[in-house]
Amino acid sequence: MMQILKSMTLEQLQELAAQMGHPSYRSTQLYEWLWQKGVDSFEEMTNLPKALREELAKESEPGGLQLLKKQQSSDGTIKCLFATGKEGSPPVEAVLIPDFYEDGAANRLTVCVSSQVGCMFGCAFCATGKMGYFRNLDAWEIADQVRHINRISLELYGKRITNVVYMGMGEPLHNFRAVLDSSEILTHKLGIGLSPRRITVSTVGLSKQIKQLADEEAPFFLAISLHAANDAKRNQIMPINESLNLDALRESLQYYHKKLDRAVTYEYLLFDQFNDSVEDARQLSKIAGWIPSKINIIMYNNVAGVSLKRAREERLNLFMRELVRLGVRATVRRSRGDDIDAGCGQLAIREGIKPGKTIRKGIPV
Ligand code: SF4
């Protein structure tokens, strides 16, 4: 079987170069080609000696996800579908979300990446949850979504991507090590070269892993998919809350904040007549006070087969007014790419797959 070079760290490439009798700087050049320059073949690695390229090609390949499909929304959002190359594995999706200046030039270029193929957490509003879980992505498979989209961004907008959010398919902290390792590729100066401050990892609230992020001083930002401000409502839409309730979440976030002195962001999808009352806003303001935080109120993109619907504008306004009155830092975010199903909670592979594993209770966390 061919060795996938992208699955190797820089240190492992250094060992490989040494075994092959090449100086260490060759591995640095190789890593740069794989990630920073993002080429797909050995032929393109022009500063490596031909003999080394030929030797590498005998037993290894650069590796990389294959772009199967690219769809562009009317608002500029681009959704990409990637084959992972693992037998029997459904493809995964990642999204490029551009923000534009008034003159039309691209400002912020955010990539939303997937960390798992499908997801077992079964949140009621989420299309990925309906697919079930298939497998964890490897670190390089997560980082390679960013490499691909970085190239698309350069082609379309003449600019490298600026931010990455782990908010695509899957629960990132359920694939903890691969997510941390992939973030190292994204922040490596020979890799994608992003500042960790431009990376946000989102979780439904896996308390043990949140504490582990604190213990390991993970440098990126943390976002919590909250979506309800009391246990009764959260239990209804997020099965994880039955094993890890809001008390458990609070305790882990206080631990996180104490260790890292860092604020978090809460993501709150606003659903019509479910979590959009003034009383919900009051309960949310209490959660906002646990540790320094800000709240993103997200207007939901309706998902076929889901009874929860997007909140109405007048209820959004009342909700926001109450948050402002209570001094909560909150921003309204319009979900993007609705017309190509690229919005929050809309990513799912529908064609040609049987549902994967879903555990609604007793999720192994
Ligand atoms: S919202 Fe996140 S954790 Fe919940 S089912 Fe969807 S992908 Fe999984």
3-state secondary structure labels for all residues of the chain: CCEEHHHCCHHHHHHHHHHCCCCHHHHHHHHHHHHHCCCCCHHHCCCCCHHHHHHHHHHEECCCCEEEEEEECCCCCEEEEEECCCCCCCCEEEEEEEEECCCCCEEEEEEECCCEEECCCCCCCCHHHHHCEEEECCHHHHHHHHHHHHHHHHHHHCCCCCEEEECCCCCHHHHHHHHHHHHHHHHCCCCCCCCHHHEEEEECCCHHHHHHHHHCCCCCEEEEECCCCCHHHHHHHCCHHHHCCHHHHHHHHHHHHHHHCCCEEEEEEEECCCCCCHHHHHHHHHHHCCCCEEEEEEECCCCCCCCCCECCHHHHHHHHHHHHHCCCCEEEEECCCHHHCCCCCCCCCCCCCCCCECCCCCCCC
Task: For ligand 1, say whether the CB of 224 is within 6 Å of any of its atoms.
Answer: no
- Ligand 1 centre distance from Cα of residue 365 (Å): 14
Distance 28 CA to ligand 1 centre (A): 37
Domain boundaries, the chain: 3-61, 66-340
Q: Give domain 66-340's CATH superfamily.
A: Aldolase class I (3.20.20.70)
Question: Using a 6 Å cutoff on CB, does residue 171 contact ligand 1?
Answer: yes
Tell me how far the alpha carbon of residue 106 lies from the centroid of ligand 1, in angstroms: 29
Does 121 contact ligand 1 (Cβ within 6 A)? Answer: yes
Q: Give the residue, out of 117, 173, 202, 204, with the most ligand 1 atoms within 8 A of its beta carbon, to mutate for a pocket test.
A: 204
Q: Supply the pLDDT for residue 216.
A: 97
Work out which ligand 1 atom sits closest to the CA atom of 171: 3
Counting ligand 1 atoms within 8 A of each CB, the residue from 175, 200, 225 with the most, and so the one to mutate, is: 225
344 catalytically annotated: yes
pLDDT tens digit at each of 365 positions of the chain: 789 999 999 999 999 999 999 999 999 999 999 999 999 899 999 999 999 999 999 999 999 999 999 999 888 899 999 998 788 889 999 999 998 888 888 889 999 999 999 999 999 999 888 889 999 999 999 999 999 999 999 999 999 999 999 999 999 999 999 999 999 999 999 999 999 999 999 999 999 999 999 999 999 999 999 999 999 999 999 999 999 999 999 999 999 999 999 999 999 999 999 999 999 999 999 999 999 999 999 999 888 888 999 999 999 999 999 999 999 999 998 877 776 666 656 666 666 566 676 655 555 55
Q: Is 119 in the pocket of ligand 1 (CB under 6 A)?
A: yes
Q: Please tell me the predicted confidence (pLDDT) of residue 304.
A: 82
Instruction: Give the closest residue (by CA) to ligand 1 atom 5.
Output: 129
CATH 3.40.50.740 fits 3-61, yes or no: no
Q: In degrees, to the nearest 5, what angle opens at C-alpha 319 toward C-alphas 318 and 324?
A: 95
CA dihedral sign, ordered 169, 174, 178, 180: positive
Indicate if 112 belongs to the active site. no
Which residue among 80, 119, 123, 344 is the active-site one? 344
> Which residue out of 93, 116, 117, 119 has the highest number of ligand 1 atoms within 8 Å of its CB and is therefore the one to mutate?
119
Q: Tally the C-alpha atoms within 13 A of residue 117's C-alpha that lie toward its C-beta.
A: 24
Give φ, ψ of 266 to 5 degrees.
Answer: -100, 130
* Distance separating alpha carbons of residues 39 and 32, to the nearest angstrom: 9
Relative to the CA of 116, which ligand 1 atom is closest?
7
- pLDDT on residue 336: 74
The ligand 1 atom at the shortest distance from the C-alpha of residue 127 is: 6
Distance of alpha carbon 149 from its chain centroid, rounded? 13
Q: What pLDDT is attached to residue 86?
A: 84
